[in-house]
Amino acid sequence: MITIVTNPTTIEFNIHTKNLTTLKPLCEEYETTSNTSYSYKKLVIEGLVVVSMNYRLSIFGFLCLGIPEAPDNVGFKDVVHGL
């Protein structure tokens, strides 16, 4: 697994894959909860590249004050940008 982290205001990507030498299909996972009901391991064994992202939550992602200094819905914008 590779985790790309730059700073708190950017999106974190988790990339799951086996050792690949050719291009493979990509499966992006979007979860709305931290409790997942399935495993990505079978997908990786089958040759898929699975990418999940961690986006801003709570007041850091969805607080809306209506002022330029605190933009609204940045968590949703993280998801759109990540896709």
Confidence at residue 1, expressed as pLDDT on a 0 to 100 scale: 53
Q: Is residue 41 classed exposed, middle or buried when 0-12, 13-18 and 19+ CB atoms within 10 A define those classes?
A: exposed
For each of the chain's 83 residues, which pLDDT tens digit applies? 554 444 556 677 888 888 878 887 776 666 666 666 667 788 888 888 888 887 887 777 778 888 887 777 888 888 888 77
CA 63 to the chain's CA centroid: 20
Give pLDDT, residue 25: 75
pLDDT reported for residue 54: 79
What residues are paired with 51 via a beta bridge?
Answer: 15, 28
The whole-number pLDDT of residue 67 equals 83
Q: Where are the domains of the chain?
A: 2-82
Question: In this predicted structure, what is the pLDDT of residue 46?
Answer: 82
Query: What's this model's pTM, rounded to 2 decimal places?
Result: 0.60
